[in-house]
Amino acid sequence: MKFLLNLFFLCFLISTYSQVNTPKKMNANFALAIHGGAGNMVKRKFTVEQENEYKKVLDLALEEGYKALANGTKATDVVELVIKILEDSPLFNAGKGAVFSNEGKNEMDAAIMDGETLKCGAVTNIRTVKNPISLAKTIMTSSKFVFLNGIGAEQFAKENNIEIVDTSYFFEQKRWNEMLKIRDSTKTILDNEGSGSIDDLDKINKFGTVGCVVLDNYGNLAAGTSTGGITNKKYNRIGDSPIIGAGTYANNQTCAISCTGHGEDFIRLVAAHKVSCYMDMKHKTLDKAANQVINKELTAIGGRGGLIGIDSKGNVTFAFNTTGMFRGSINKNGEKFIGIYK
C-alpha cells in the first residue's frame, strides 16, 4: 500500500512539473508568410530558370519554417530560422546578397519583434555579421537596449558569440556592377526597382529586403525584417526595415507585419504600426487594414512597396502597389502558396 501511495505521489509530481514547465499549446491556426521584396517585376524579364531559383529558396524557407512550427518552435525562433535561409541566399538584398553603398560597402539592417511581450531588437549599418537577424534577436533577448548601430552593434555581436565573417563574404559581382553603373550619379536603386535609363539594371535588379511573419502553436505572433538597404546609398542612410513600427511590428492583440519598398515613405507613415492601429481602433480586418495603408495611403504620397501580415487567427495578407512581390505562405495543413507577380 505504501508503495502504491509513493508511486501515486511521484506521478502527481511529474504531472505537475510538466504542466508548469511546458508551454500550453493552444488550438491556434499556426502559419507563416514570407517576402523577398516588392517592386517592378515584369514576367517577360524573367527566364524560367530565374523564376525557379527564387521559388526554390522561398519554398525551402516555407518548408523549414513549417517543420519548426509543427514541432512546437516558438514564433521568434521561427522568424530567425526562416530569415537566415533568405539571408544566406545571394538572390535577395539581405545578408549574403546585400547591395553596395556609394562607398563600396555592405551596410545591413535587421529587426525582430515578439508579439506576446512586445520585446524587440534592431540593428543597423553592420558590415561583418553573417546573419543580421540573429544579432537583432540577440539584442531582443540579451540586451537592455532595443536598437544598436555600426561598430557598437558588431562589438555586442562578438561578445554574444554571433557569427562574424570577413566583409569579402558579402561580395557579389552583380551587386558591385550595379553600384558602379550609378556611382557617379545621384541615382539609387530601391528594392526590386529598375533605374530608368539603365535598362540592364531593370533586368537583373530583382533583389529585395526579406521578411517573415509567424503565428505559432501557442497563439503568439512575431515579425522580422532584414535588408542591405539601397544600392549607392550615402551617409549611412537607414530605411524602415530596422525601425520598429515603420518596417517591422508585432502585437498578439492585432497582427505581425513586415514591410518592403521605399523605406522613407514607410517611415513617414509608420506603416507597420498603422496596420495594427486600424485593426485595434477601427476594427478593420487585417486585409482591409493592410490595403488601406499600402494601396491608399502609401500610394497617395507617391510611395512604392508592400507588406506581409498575419493575424491571431492565422489569416495572411499580401498587400503591394507594385507589379510584383516575392512572397509565400504556408498554414497548419501544409497548404502552400508562392507568388512573384501581381
Q: Which residues are catalytic?
A: 209
Q: Which ranges constitute the DSSP H helices of the chain?
A: 2-21, 48-70, 75-87, 132-142, 150-159, 173-182, 199-204, 263-269, 271-281, 286-291, 299-300
The whole-angstrom separation of Cα 109 and Cα 241 is 7
User: What 3-state class would DSSP assign to 341?
Assistant: strand
User: How distant, in Å, are the alpha carbons of 36, 41, 51, 54, 97 from that of 48?
Assistant: 18, 14, 5, 10, 21
The whole-angstrom separation of Cα 33 and Cα 79 is 10
User: How distant, in Å, are the alpha carbons of 50, 78, 119, 123, 234 from that of 245?
Assistant: 33, 20, 12, 14, 24
Strand partners, 35: 211, 327
Instruction: Report which of 86, 62, 339 is spatially closest to residue 227, judged by C-alpha positions.
Output: 86
CB 325 within 8 A of CB 289: no
Instruction: Report which of 218, 221, 208, 290 is spatially closest to residue 79, judged by C-alpha positions.
Output: 221
How far separated are the first and last CA of the chain, in Å rounded?
72
